[in-house]
Structure 1
Amino acid sequence: MRRVATDVLVLGDGVLGRSIAFALAGADPGLRVALAGRRAAGASAAAGAMLGVLGEVTAAGLRTRHGRLRLGLAVEAARRWPAWRERVRERAGARAPLRDGYGAGTFVLLNAVSGRLDEQAFAAIGAAGHEHGLPVQEVDPADVPAHRPLENDRALRALHLPAEAYLDARRWLATLDAALAALPGLTRVPAGRLRTDGAGYALHLRGAVLTAPTLVLAAGAWTTPLLEALDPRLPVLPVVAAEGTAVTLGAPAPLPAVLRTPNRAYACGLHAVPQADGSWYVGASTAPALAPGGEPTAGALRFLLEGALGQLHHGLTGARVRRLHHGNRPVGLDGHPLLGATARPGLWIATGTHRDGLHASPLIAEELAAAILHHRPSNWLAPWHPDRSPVTDWTREAAVEEAAVQLAALAAESRMRPPLTGAWPELLVDGYRRQLGEAYDRLPEGLVLPPELAPLAYEQGPELAKLIERYLRGPR
């Protein structure tokens, strides 16, 4: 078997893996970097690529220390995007797509298909904009371009975020590919079997073994089984999946800016993003899962399309479906990313970014490359080191309450109408609290599941409990 020595092996060729490989090989022309990955339902190719900062803000996020840290990271990533994009496009040269869909402007809609979460998010977006010096303008919903909702779903208020950028994710991945092809020290290989190799790492391919003293694992929602096969003793926080479905539509009119609702119902809100060819990207559903799923569900598609046709533009009824997207967003089991070095020499991890991976990719790639090549500590990555103890911003009681409110928002968006006799509306929310409380009580102590992953507790409780127990029993 032919052995090929490299300096750094990057495993996972989503946007984080490609960006990290680009930052490493671009910083040192003599560095031998191998980028490996397989075709799978990852998050990057299915992404809406809202490079959003304020649009992702929620009241719950601002109440927690790590939520505020994530906001600061998003602000810094947005600051780096223009220079990063120019750097990648310059390296890609003429081989890059002529248009990558890059633009700015987002309208956040508080519509009639919502609950109190949306109202709280509106206030939180304004507060975050003021704190970070980012523009937030309230506008008349009638002035929002390309917005034609059904009357029952109309927007009651709207915010304009003129600095929020967006991108065509598929075109951006093609641009990264062209830039990577122009780097002489970078080699792309298919996926293989990952093993330890003395003090380093080895990727076993058909006919060859690639070895490296440094491994960057950027494998998204597939991270945990790879780590367990590599070294089951590592005390790294488990990563689960959040399946998401979206569609690209040949829309009836151009979309000059992003249209979106606030984050709600465990998800990133309903949104439409302009694409480089004039189509609309409409997303996105979310469904937490212990393992990635390869195909969308009928329920996810129904929920997505009903929301888009009612809340965004009823003219989409006659739009042609150009592409169906399905991907798995990686989520750390405490709700936060895993970024940086592990206790095992030479092993680095970049995953768990949930909805923020593409937006944060310039910052993560540059900071990780500087840490690997120059041993430069990163204040941006420090809170998210992979073998940390779980983040404990949530108490069990607070997580249950927030999850119950999220379920109520999901019911409102689904137009669930309880009987109008007695106290049915309140009884339903009380029922959510009771169901969630019982599900959380069955989980091991030592890790409080964040509200956005609460469906795992009542849908896959026994399997989730086993995963948490394995992690908590490991070396701490």
Structure 2
Amino acid sequence: MAIDTADQNTTYDAVIVGNGGLGLSLGLVLARRGMRVAVVGESTRPFAASVAAGAMNGCFGEVTPTLLRSEYGRRKLAMDVRAAARWDDWERLLVEESDESRIRSANGTVVILNTIGVPGIDTAGYASIRQALHDYKEPYEDLDPEDVEWLAPEPKSRPLKAMFIPGEHAVDTPALLRGLTTAFGRQGGTLIDSHVSGLRLEGNRVTGVDLRTGGSLSSDTVVLAAGAASHDLLAGVDAEIRDRIPSLVSGSGVSLLVRTENGLIPDSVIRTPNRAFACGLHVVPRGDGVVYLGATNEILPRPCATAAIGEINLLLSGIRQLRADLVDGHIEKINVGNRPVPLDGYPLLGEAGVDGLWMMTGTYRDGLHQSPMLAEEMAARILGDAYDTDLDVFTPVRPPLQSLSREETLEVAVLHTMAVGVEHDWHLPEDLPPLIEEQFRRSFEQKLAEMESDFIPPPELLFFVEPEIESALRRYYDAYRNG
């Protein structure tokens, strides 16, 4: 149920800040366990990642060479695999508890390797996906690209290889959010259409939250699941604790809902490997002649609510890689979302250095896919039940998790930077790209030197770094400079 918060001063067993896929999922699991739970967030979700997500059940399709190279990346893949195994039961129960007839869409995923990407990213990414499928003994099938139904790119963008992963579907995001909202209410949960302005603290213990609309909510358990805005809510926490938690920047992304002229849509997800600091080009069937086309990724210091023309142009230019006659379709909606990206690139899961305060955010591109698993894992921690200690490495108060060496970070940053130009279909004299590449390498080396730290940011933060992000990195690194 929803309540008017203008004069509310109510006590709950748990207050969850954030009404996206993660926050609602945790709220639902706790409500099922008999807790009195409030989920707080503006009903319009103005900056959320969930509302703009293509929501692929992307597990193996998201694998990259750098992911497999890193211990923490391999742990993240293991989380994705565990989450994938939860979705059948999660969807079944959610359908029973709500008015939705289905939550997931798409019959598997087709991964294509086409002529647009660069070998060091796309070809290597395609090989890494296959390696991960082999390692986990996940079924897949090689396809002749000519036999992939619906796919009809222009000749210069034709696919060279294709494989079908039958176990990777997609989530119908609007249906998921409606279903979670309905099920949460029917389990006795309370939805509060407001914005949390700050935490209520007594010493080193949280006692609730203040609401921008007036009043407050009391609880000795508060979970920050507000995406990219979560770290801002730590403003009242002692700086010695707050600065040891990686703050969050926004992976701002733009996607389009397109109605095809002939009403034809694919049966499956069709996607490229991840490329150029983003999640690869992908099309997701949404039904009734509509497809989701996504998605861009730009690291910004704060969430953004509007779509840059350049981001839209990049998506529109990508149409040629999928189906040439999509240019005759019609844009029904432009989505803008903000993925929560911690300064070291890994999620923030667990207690946040203050008694009763928890964080469940920083999942970057994995939040919706991991939501059933993370909701159950976080609920177990909150309730004092047995839980998977493998996730403890992602505790919020932590030194930076380092995936790559300085040299590896530089090479990945330069490689993806140059790939951005290829994806934008740049046309340059042959002698210019090597010169541009060398300039970027020198620029990135200078940025690392100026930070004066042994810690290395993820490659995408090195590419998008600007004064506010650089200041946040310095503050976080300085908190651990002396061990």
> Normalized against structure 1, the TM-score is what?
0.94
Q: Distance in 1 between matches of 2:278 and 2:107?
A: 22
Change (3 A) 1:312 1:5: same
Instruction: Give the drift of 1:103.
Output: 3.5
State the Cα distance separating 1:432 from its structure 2 match: 2.3
1:435 pairs with one of 435, 443, 460:
443
Matched, 1:341 2:351: yes
Distance 2:452 2:185 in 1: 47
Specify the SS of the correspondent of 2:359: strand
* SS at structure 1 position matched to 2:108: strand
Partner residue in 2 for 1:267:
278
Q: Take 1:361 and 1:336, find their aligned partners in 2: how far apart are those partners?
A: 15
Percent identical across equivalent pairs? 35
Amino acid at match of 1:351: T
* 1:208 matched residue in structure 2: 215
Tell me, what secondary structure is at the counterpart of 2:365?
Answer: helix
Cα drift, residue 200 of structure 1: 2.8
Structure 1: tracts of 5 or more residues without a match: none
Structure 1 residues 244-281: Cα deviation after superposition (integer angstroms, max 9, x where no partner): 00000112312100111100000000000011444100
**Kindly tell me: are residues 105 and 2 of structure 1, through their superposed partners in 2, closer, same or farther at Cα, counting changes over 3 Å?**
closer
The Cα shift of 1:195 comes to 2.5
Equivalent in the alignment of 1:73: 79
Q: Do structure 1's residue 470 and structure 2's residue 470 form an aligned pair?
A: no
Q: 1:238 maps to what in 2?
A: 247
Whether contact under 8 Å (2:282, 2:294) holds in the other structure is yes
TM alignment of 1:38-437, pairs within 5 A = 38=42, 39-92=45-98, 95-96=99-100, 98-116=101-119, 117-198=121-202, 199-205=205-211, 206=213, 208-234=215-241, 235-251=244-260, 252=262, 253-308=264-319, 310-420=320-430, 423-437=431-445
The answer to whether the 8 A contact 1:258-1:271 is kept is yes
Structure 2 contact 95–102 (Cα < 8 Å) conserved: no
Q: Offset of 1:378 from its aligned partner? A: 2.4
- Aligned equivalents of 1:444, 1:36: Cα separation in 2: 40
CA distance in 2, matches of 1:16, 1:444: 36
Note the C-alpha offset of 1:435: 2.1
Mapped partners of 2:161, 2:407: distance in 1: 32
Secondary structure of the corresponding residue to residue 124 of structure 1: helix
Task: Note the residue ranges of structure 2 that are not aligned, 5 or more in a row.
Answer: 1-6
Structure 1 residues 413 and 189, CA gap change in structure 2 (3 angstroms): closer
Residue 193 of structure 1: how far off its partner (Å): 2.4
Change (3 A) 1:169 1:231: farther
- Per-residue CA distance 1:419-472 (angstroms, 9 max, x = gap): 13xx44433322222222222222241431111222223xx1x32232122223
Work out whether residues 307 and 336 of structure 2, in 8 Å CA contact, stay in contact via their aligned partners in 1.
yes
Structure 1 residues 177, 278: closer, same or farther in 2, change over 3 A? farther
Per-residue CA deviations over 1:154-201 (Å, capped at 9, x if unaligned) read 111111111111121111111111111111244434223222243333
* 2:3 aligned partner: none
Once the two structures are TM-superposed, the CA of residue 221 in structure 1 deviates from its matched residue by 0.6
1:65-96 C-alpha deviation (Å, 9 max, x unpaired): 1111111111110001111111222122xx33
Other-structure match for 1:454: 462
Q: Where do 1:10-29 residues align within 5 Å?
A: 10-27=16-33, 29=34
For the residue of structure 2 that corresponds to 1:392, the secondary structure is: coil
The alpha carbon displacement at 1:231 in A equals: 4.3
Structure 1 residues 125-134 or 249-258, which shifts more?
A: 249-258
Give the SS at the match of 1:452.
helix
Counterparts of 2:218 and 2:360 in 1: how far apart (Å)? 20
SS at match of 1:195: strand
8 A contact 2:252–2:338 mirrored in 1: yes
Distance across 1 between alignment mates of 2:180 and 2:153: 36
Contact 2:12–2:38 (CA<8 Å) still a contact in 1?
A: yes
2-structure distance, mates of 1:275, 1:134: 26
Q: What is the CA–CA distance in structure 2 between the aligned matches of 1:456 and 1:316, rounded to whole Å? A: 31
Contact persistence 1:338–1:352 (CA under 8 A): yes
Determine if contact 2:24/2:180 at 8 Å carries over to the other structure: yes
